[in-house]
Amino acid sequence: MAARPHALMVLLLACGLLAVVGGCSSPTPKPDVTIDLLRGDWQGVPGVTPGSGGLQVTATPRRIVEQDGGGGQPNPPLNLAGTHLVAGGDFTLIATFADVTADAAWALYDRPPVIADEFRVEPAGLRLTLLGEDLEIAVFDGTQRRDITQPVPVHDEHVTVHDSGAPLTVHRSGDTLTIDSGEDTLASLPLGKVFSSGRLWLGFSSESGAFDVTSLKAAAPEGAGLRTSGAAVADARPTEDGLQALAARTRPDFRVGAAVALGPLSADEDYAREVVSNFGSVTLENAMKPQSLSPEQGVYTFEEADAIIAFAQGKDMVVHGHTIAFSEAMPRWMQELPSGTDAERQSSATALLDYVRTVVTHFKGRLDSLDVVNEPLDTAQGTSLQQNIWYRVFGPGYPAVVSKAVYDADPDVKQFINENGADVPGRRQDALLKLALDTNAQGGHIYGIGLQAHIYDPRTDAISAEDLAQTLNHVDDAGLRVRISENDVSDDQSQEDQAEQYATVLATCLASRACVSYTTWGVDNRYNWFIGDDGRLAQGHDFLFDDGKPRPAYDAMRRALGD
């Protein structure tokens, strides 16, 4: 449709910008600050390949599958590890698409999404999706509705684009957000809470096709502070009094680690400082799970995992891989592999082993250790194996099959079987040790077991120093090693009880030759979210930091390390 008169000033500014890329012939002067974003760092974005002519975007329909195998919330990527924008006031962004074969989506968010095992928390921002002549304009304000797995935009409309090759312009002016296509103004909206952080995180994706981004520019008036910025973790530095440094005084080879995510490592200075200052190892919280690495059979999206590993190695941290064989976090193609006949099992075995070889070969030499099997025992805290796709295809000996395939691809990575509810002596612990030993008897290469040490309810899950020490002795007697792999502690009783439990687990692990490392499952409660029994998003307080500040548990751990 024709440009509306009230948008004249917006279009004059847009034409000044478009003259740079050939979209207008108006003599309007260019804005004082213009940035060519195609020259930024786009290497770490799944589905985006930088080239001489711009960015090539291909479909990577990543989805987050719920623990029961249902659902499938879209998880389109943003440029987290590379370039993002700092924009303190008004700004204009222009993108030009070419060779669109299906849908072309452009996302602009004011912070990265929070990614959990089962859901994605959509931040405030804007998503434009072009399909033929139809452009969907979806605006999110960061407010979470009832069903977190299906975020509802506060504004959602479809408009007609007369020329799909015309530049798309997003312009913020005061409290107004304007969307243009060429000289046509498509929408003019109240800004609300969108882009309130002063930063812009960009992403391109396609659900089922491919397209090129041939031009991508940002502009703002002089004095608006427009600039590009890299990841927050780049400026973080290890400290001499962090948890890792304190532990190394007693055991130089012992690693204190944390499970981390790329979004906060990239965007949150507090989180990046907490990680790099205190930890000597990282576990990839979700980025190495099958649904993140291979959204479709034969399609691999290693970019975000690679970015975390590169950050860690740049800070002299070792990396623990998580995970290969798992009953959860599997993409749909893996869940649905047939296993009813010998022929089907043979075909599915080929697909699964191709996945193992591809993944382990890709990360070869960059992982110190790896969960080759994760949570194999039943979810009711029993002793039988879950009959997941690995079990149905290979039978009860599947851990040995996976272990041998991992060893063939990388004989140097230390292999672990990781399990919950086996932290204290009992039948489940016995079953886990037997599984590890049986796996090795069948030709596997299991180095040790991972004890998750999740303490969700201190009244029932608490781990005493005596029980844990006995457990570590049992593992040592079996000739295996232990990782405390996912320790987190609820503060439902009190922060003091939480602190005591954290300190007990760490100190007992450090004192045992069988225990080679300790990892906490998370860092800052700013990113500790779960879906409560009422279906609503809820925040936990299980980690060592709250909004950049240490909790009593952190101080207790320091004392346990002799500080």
Query: What phi and psi, each to the nearest 5 degrees, are found at residue 434?
Result: -65, -40
| Domain assignments of the chain as residue spans, ordered by start | 5-229, 245-560
Name the CA radius of gyration of the chain, rounded: 25
Rounded Cα gap, residues 320 and 520, in angstroms: 12
| Angle (CA) 241 246 251, round 5° | 155
> pLDDT value at position 6?
35
Q: What are phi and psi of 69, to 5 degrees?
A: 90, -5
d(CA 280, CA 204): 33
Task: Tell me the CA distances in angstroms from 463 to 20, 455, 501, 544, one per residue in order.
Answer: 64, 8, 7, 18
**Parallel/antiparallel/unpaired status of strands 529-531 and 537-539:** antiparallel
pLDDT of 32 reads 73
The reported pLDDT for the residue numbered 534 is: 83
What pLDDT, on the 0 to 100 scale, is given for residue 539?
93
pLDDT at 4: 37
User: Under the phi-then-psi rule, with left for phi > 0, alpha for psi from -120 to 50, and beta for the rest, what region is 315?
Assistant: alpha
Which pTM value belongs to this model?
0.92
What is the C-alpha separation between 222 and 32, in angstroms, rounded? 5
Segment (H or E) for 248:
helix 243-250
Tell me the Ramachandran region of residue 81: left when phi exceeds 0, alpha when psi lies from -120 to 50, beta otherwise.
alpha
Block residue for tokens 């029980």: 467
Q: Which CATH superfamily is domain 5-229 in?
A: Exo-inulinase; domain 1 (2.60.120.560)
Q: Which CATH class is domain 245-560?
A: alpha beta
Q: Which amino acid is at 40?
A: G
Q: What angle do CA 62, 68, 74 make, to 5 degrees?
A: 20
* pLDDT by residue, tens only, the chain of 563 residues: 333 333 333 333 333 333 333 344 444 455 479 999 999 999 999 999 999 999 999 999 899 988 778 888 999 999 999 989 999 889 999 999 999 999 999 999 999 999 988 899 999 999 999 999 999 999 999 887 778 888 899 999 999 999 999 999 999 999 999 999 999 999 999 988 888 899 999 999 999 999 999 999 999 998 888 999 999 999 999 999 999 999 999 999 999 999 999 999 999 999 999 999 999 999 999 999 999 999 999 999 999 999 999 999 999 999 999 999 999 999 999 999 999 999 999 999 999 999 999 999 999 999 999 999 999 999 999 999 999 999 999 999 999 999 999 999 999 999 999 999 999 999 999 999 999 999 999 999 999 999 999 999 988 999 999 999 999 999 999 999 999 999 999 999 999 999 999 999 999 999 999 999 999 999 999 999 998 888 888 999 999 999 999 999 999 999 999 98
